[in-house]
Amino acid sequence: MQFLLFLLLIGRRASARPHPFRISALVPQVPAAAFLLLACAAGGKVARAQEPPYFVTYSEALEEPGNLEVATKNLAGSPRDAHTFLSSTLELEYGATAWWTTELYLQGQTTAQDSTLFTGFRWENRFRALPTEHRLNPVLYVEYEDVNGADKSILEVTGHDGIGDLQTPNGEGRREISRTMEGKLILSSNARGWNFSENWIMEKNLMGGAWEYGYAAGVSRPLMLRGDIRNCVFCRQNIGAGAEVYGGLGTVHDFGLRDTSHYAGPAANLNLPHGPTVSFSPQFGLNHNSAGVLWRFDVSYEVQQLRDLFHQEAE
């Protein structure tokens, strides 16, 4: 049901009165677009995702040209002095070329004793700087964000983002609109099955404000590098494990760790044969300006050569 959460939010107007935290309350109807999207995913050839099990950190992995990945990124938390919330982001990732991957994010959240609302969208692009694998693989990242202050997806942390953002009531936060350009330098290395990835993040609100900075880093490895001849779901080669850490680094005027938030935690994913990839991570706040624990859960499907389906129909 979490997979459909955001799709359901699109077809539902924000609730103006408080309501208890029940996912079932979010299911009045499923828009036709959701059915078309899921039908497309089911009709295509599905392949296992090969990306590390990171939730905030990016590696050098791009989508294969012509492939479409449909994913839902879910985040739940119970920050101090704030109500429990569930944020869900629908992600559509398309491999435009071998060196360019583009993504659209649609975001929403529901907060106990508050409301359910759509919080905005993001358009992300990643560009591989080098065509072949090297010891250090750089990727350039550019993203445009149009989100409001009620967004609780925490897809990255920059500047002085902190627990106060999670304590703001939805009615107040939704009035704060932010149109932002974000850039990242992604560095990633692979050695003996291990992946090491580091991200440097820069963000500028186009409506005013200083440049904000952040970071993310992760390390991961499949439990088995060689495939098993057995046809099984929980074979070790289908499971990846690792950890990541991320946080804010202030602004251009006060660069550093003062009044910033930071999180770290283990992460794991399961690549189901001929099915989805399921990822999970508990992430723990590292200082007083962070939420205690954030629970992340992702589900993604990769549809191979989506553009070929349209070429066949055209013929």
Domain spans in the chain, listed from the N-terminal domain onward:
2-314
Average pLDDT on 224-240 reads: 81
Q: How far apart are CA 137 and CA 58, in angstroms?
A: 12
| pLDDT score at 9 | 42
Average pLDDT on 229-235 reads: 78
Average pLDDT on 136-148 reads: 98
Q: Which two tokens stand for residue 243?
A: 């950890």
Q: How far apart are CA 59 and CA 135, in angstroms?
A: 13
Q: How far apart are CA 174 and CA 109, in angstroms?
A: 11
Q: Does residue 177 or residue 274 have the better pLDDT?
A: 177
Q: How far apart are CA 90 and CA 284, in angstroms?
A: 24
| pLDDT score at 26 | 38
| pLDDT score at 312 | 55
pTM, whole model, 2 decimals? 0.84
| pLDDT score at 12 | 42
Average pLDDT on 59-77 reads: 96
pLDDT in tens, 77-87: 999 999 999 99
Q: Taking the CA of residue 94 as centre, how many other CA atoms within 13 Å lie in the half-sphere pointing to its CB?
A: 12
pLDDT in tens, 98-141: 999 999 999 999 999 999 999 999 999 999 999 999 999 999 99
- Please check whether residue 127 is in contact with residue 183, taking contact to mean a CB–CB distance below 8 angstroms: no
Check whether 6 has a pLDDT greater than 90: no
Average pLDDT on 185-189 reads: 98
Helix (H, G, I), strand (E, B) or coil at 51: coil
Average pLDDT on 243-261 reads: 97
Residue 47 CB contacts under 8 Å (≥ 6 apart), including other chains: 67, 302, 304
Average pLDDT on 35-46 reads: 41
Percent of the chain whose predicted confidence (pLDDT) is above 70: 80
| pLDDT score at 226 | 76
| pLDDT score at 277 | 95
The listed CATH number (2.40.160.40, 3.50.50.60, 3.40.120.10, 3.40.190.10) that belongs to domain 2-314 = 2.40.160.40
Check whether 180 has a pLDDT greater than 70: yes
Q: How far apart are CA 69 and CA 46, in angstroms?
A: 9
Residue 274's pLDDT band, with cuts at 50, 70 and 90, is confident
Q: How far apart are CA 27 and CA 11, in angstroms?
A: 10
Check whether 34 has a pLDDT greater than 80: no
Percent of the chain whose predicted confidence (pLDDT) is above 90: 73
